[in-house]
Amino acid sequence: MSKGMWDDIPVDVGLVYEGERIRKKQMQVELGGPKITEKFELVQAREMDEIEDGKVIVVGPDISDMKVGESYPLGIIVEVAGGMVEKDLEAVLERRIHEFMNYIEGFMHLNQRYDIWCRLSQGSFKKGLNSLKIIGTVLTRLYKSEFTNVIEKIQVTFYTDAEKIKPLYEKAREIYNARDARARGLTDEEVPEFYGCTLCQSFAPSHVCTVTPQRISLCGAINWFDARAAAKVDPKGPNFKIEKGELLDPVKGEYSGINEITKKKSLGEVERVHLYTILSPYNHTSCGCFEAIAFYIPEVEGIGIVDRNFKGNTVNGLPFSTMANSTGGGRQTVGFVGMAIEYMRSPKFFSADGGWKRVVWLPANVKENVKDAIPTELYDKIATEQEAPDLASLKEFLKEADHPVKEYWTEEEEEEEEEEEAEAAAQMMQIPTQMPQMQMGAPQMVGGMIQLPMFGAVQFPAGAIGGLGGGQWKIILKNAKIYAEEMIIKRVEKPKKKQKKK
């Protein structure tokens, strides 16, 4: 970005502002966000004669007309034209709105599509950033400098008038849906390669998205076609081709090509990726902008899903935000994974774990949204916050509904015994450094090792175990409810072993 480029802009513009958070107390105004239902951002490809280059239009009140500390609706339409501009590029260009708006000092943009959330700081407002026209101008310049050979003309329109946004919001949702639908039916096996995205590395440095036809990116904004189009026109950009390499595990979805490129792009942090499971130490990494979180519920051996808009506590007693904090940041966390709502429509939706047969809890509005994807015979067996606000009611509900997850349940008595055993073992345990390579399975004694499911309380950030070096490590779990999966806990039988060796 050349220096003179921003001389007429009252605040600074640059990469350095990307991670900036604006707290409620510091904000001048909020645009979109949780208080506003209808909000969206959309990029549309146009013909050269349909738009005026550099033009920024504001429909509705501008920032200077807005009350301090209030929330307002926001719709953003970015129209682009040029010889290389094609429909397939819309989604990836759209995803860059997030990045480019965050370059503006004192301006924050979160999420994507129908879920955007922006804030302007009082500091930047005082410096003169008092109009969406300025923000639009920054956007047009950043787009043109980043996509020099692609975008020849760009025009930006901001809508802040609730009445005007309504029909456009509906239209935008139709467009998102049509994009998503395009990849439905295409399988991972039939395409020659996958694609990746590292756009979120500015927030989550070890995060690498693998985008396959049957696993849309976790932000939900970039599908296989989108990433492919972007990699073609902007090979040095955040989207890239992934050669599949060898299919190492068809069930969990592990490919040598994905492992290789993820390792390289995460600078060695992430070495292996399992695409179709939530129960692996090699779960897909999660950045921060996932549309929803899938969380394992050890008490019923099932999977719950919560979307970003769900208010209050989920069935496990935690709200979305708490789970997002322990899931995001580019980590691989057993039992927690960020995902797109659209992924629920994929035949590979947690297929390694049993797919829909394992889903036990969804927010009511998500259940309604993905009704078409839920196997009919399961629809009434999946609980929502209405039937199951907590674990006790969930268990009752699943029993009564005869949910297929019951297949995974052992006898209750056995369970309790195992829990006790696990608790005793966990008072103090030593974990072999190669632990994550161990197989997953039902709790059992194997030689001196106990293999048991363990979730919730303990989470190892990517690389934490592998990077420990030689020797053994002591991990003390306080107040932990012990269930383990993907983890082998070695019982320490100190005196015995030493004696034997002698």
Return the HEC string of 466-478: HHHCCCCEEECCC
When asked if residue 324 is in the footprint of Zn ion (CB under 5 A), the reply is no
Rounded Cα–Cα distance for residues 21 and 26 (Å): 10
Residue 487: which of ligand SF4, Zn ion, none does it interact with, CB under 5 to 8 A by kind?
none
Q: DSSP class of residue 399? A: H
Binding piece for Zn ion, criterion CB under 5 A, among 29-37, 168-176, 196-204, 439-447: 196-204
CB nearer to ligand SF4: pick between 224 and 361? 224
Burial class (CB in 10 A: 0-12, 13-18, 19+), 353: buried
Q: Going by C-beta distance under 8 Å and a sequence separation of 6 or more, which residues neighbour residue 393?
A: 383, 387
Query: Beta-carbon neighbour count of residue 181 at 10 Å?
Result: 12
Q: With contact defined as beta carbons under 8 Å apart, do 438 and 451 qualify?
A: yes
CB nearer to Zn ion: pick between 137 and 283? 283
**Stretch 82-101: interaction string toward ligand SF4, x if CB under 6 A:** -------------x------
Q: How far is the CB of 81 from ligand SF4 (least distance, A)?
A: 24
Question: Residue from 9, 154, 208, 289 that binds Zn ion (CB under 5 A)?
Answer: 289
Q: With contact defined as beta carbons under 8 Å apart, do 265 and 279 qualify?
A: no
| Cα 175 to chain centroid, rounded | 21
When asked if residue 199 is in the footprint of ligand SF4 (CB under 6 A), the reply is yes
Binding piece for ligand SF4, criterion CB under 6 A, among 194-202, 244-252, 367-375, 401-409: 194-202
Q: How far is the CB of 204 from ligand SF4 (least distance, A)?
A: 8
**DSSP H or E run through 44:** strand 40-45
Q: How far is the CB of 292 from ligand SF4 (least distance, A)?
A: 12
Q: Which of residues 222-241 bind ligand SF4 (CB under 6 A)?
A: 222
Q: How far is the CB of 227 from ligand SF4 (least distance, A)?
A: 7
Sign of the torsion angle spanned by Cα atoms 447, 453, 457, 462: positive
Binding piece for ligand SF4, criterion CB under 6 A, among 192-200, 306-314, 364-372, 397-405: 192-200
Binding piece for Zn ion, criterion CB under 5 A, among 100-108, 144-152, 195-203, 271-279: 195-203
**DSSP 3-state assignment of 312?**
coil
Question: Residue from 74, 91, 287, 303 that binds Zn ion (CB under 5 A)?
Answer: 287
Residue showing tokens 């926001």: 74
Residue 217: which of ligand SF4, Zn ion, none does it interact with, CB under 5 to 8 A by kind?
ligand SF4
When asked if residue 327 is in the footprint of ligand SF4 (CB under 6 A), the reply is no
Residue showing tokens 């990746």: 196
For the CA atoms of 87, 93, 95, 97, the dihedral, rounded to the nearest 10 degrees, stands at -130
Q: With contact defined as beta carbons under 8 Å apart, do 113 and 40 qualify?
A: yes
Residue 222: which of ligand SF4, Zn ion, none does it interact with, CB under 5 to 8 A by kind?
ligand SF4
Q: With contact defined as beta carbons under 8 Å apart, do 335 and 318 qualify?
A: no
Total site size for ligand SF4, rule CB under 6 A: 13
Q: How far is the CB of 166 from ligand SF4 (least distance, A)?
A: 27
Residue 27: which of Zn ion, ligand SF4, none does it interact with, CB under 5 to 8 A by kind?
none
Radius of gyration of the chain (CA): 24
Interface contacts to ligand SF4, rule CB under 6 A: 95, 197-200, 209, 217-219, 221-222, 287, 289
